[in-house]
């Protein structure tokens, strides 16, 4: 066996070892990812979500987290911004110029905490400092059984897709109307040029 053949066989062996090492490292990474995802799924099953049908004026996610975190550990908060038309009307009327929210969801790390908070706070006065703008407001909070945060994100994704589809349809209708108008303008020009030629 010549030296070239020996070197080539060594190189082939090294390449095979490297690909085997790469395959093993990819497998370990995939196993770690799978384990992490399974762990997150188990933790997500333990979490509970509460719904707030009304957010008091001047309350934002930070203030809400600050107030609610006294009762239990919070994972996530999502507040729906108010309708832009209503916001514009309120600002023009001289009302609060900041961002307001219409409804919200709060995810607690444990279902039992979420249930307890919803039962304890629903219908009660918010309280806190007397000078705060939502001191006299009332909590309107409800525990959502069998509701996961993924349901909320899926719902918002569907709403966004519907909104995009509607805007695409409106845009297509506007383009058709524009094209029809331009066709009518071209026909009118042709007719006027024909009449001028006939008159000459």
pLDDT of residue 13: 59
Q: Domain residues of the chain, as ranges? A: 44-147, 150-199
- Inter-residue contact 140 to 54 (CB < 8 Å): yes
Supply the pLDDT for residue 183. 92
At 128, give phi and psi (nearest 5°).
90, -145
pTM of the model: 0.56
CA separation for the pair 17, 121 (Å, rounded): 63
Give the residue from 51, 13, 31 showing the smallest Cα distance to 141.
51
Q: How far apart are CA 30 and CA 43, in angstroms?
A: 20
The CATH code of the domain at 44-147 is 3.30.70.330
DSSP strand pairing (141-144 vs 48-52) = antiparallel
Q: Is the pLDDT higher at 108 or at 95?
A: 108
* 95 has a pLDDT exceeding 90: no
Predicted confidence band of residue 3 (pLDDT cuts 50, 70, 90) = low
CA–CA distance from 29 to each of 34, 40, 115 (Å)?
9, 16, 38
pLDDT for 116 beyond 90:
yes
Top mean-pLDDT range of 21-25, 70-74, 95-99, 133-137 = 70-74
| Residue 87 reports pLDDT greater than 80 | no
Residue 130, pLDDT above cutoff 70: yes
Q: How many CA atoms lie within 13 A of 89 on its CB side?
A: 5
- Report whether pLDDT(173) > 60: yes
Q: What is the per-residue pLDDT across 38-61, written as a single tens digit (0 to 9) for each?
A: 777 667 678 888 999 888 888 888
pLDDT (0 to 100) of residue 17: 63
On whether the CB atoms of residues 152 and 78 are closer than 8 A, the answer is: yes
Q: What is the DSSP-derived secondary structure letter of residue 123? A: T
* Token pair belonging to 142: 């409800």
Q: Give one DSSP letter per residue of 105-121, joined into a string.
A: EEEES-HHHHHHHHHHH
């Amino acid at each position: 066996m010549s030296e070239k053949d020996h070197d080539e066989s060594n190189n082939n062996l090294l390449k095979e070892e490297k690909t085997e090492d790469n395959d093993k490292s990819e497998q370990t990474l995939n196993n770690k990812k799978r384990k992490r995802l399974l762990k997150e799924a188990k933790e997500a099953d333990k979490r509970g979500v509460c719904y707030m049908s009304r957010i008091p004026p001047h309350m934002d996610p930070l203030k809400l987290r600050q107030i609610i975190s006294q009762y239990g550990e919070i994972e996530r908060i999502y507040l729906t911004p108010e309708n832009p038309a209503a916001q514009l009307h309120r600002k023009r009327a001289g009302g609060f110029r900041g961002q307001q929210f219409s409804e919200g969801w709060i995810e607690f790390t444990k279902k039992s905490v979420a249930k307890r908070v919803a039962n304890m706070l629903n219908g009660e006065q918010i309280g806190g400092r007397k000078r705060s703008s939502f001191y006299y407001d009332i909590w309107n909070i409800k525990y959502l059984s069998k509701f996961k945060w993924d349901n909320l994100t899926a719902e918002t994704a569907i709403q966004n897709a519907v909104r995009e589809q509607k805007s695409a349809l409106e845009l297509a209708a506007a383009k058709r109307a524009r094209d029809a108008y331009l066709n009518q303008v071209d026909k009118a020009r042709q007719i006027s040029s024909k009449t001028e030629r006939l008159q000459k």
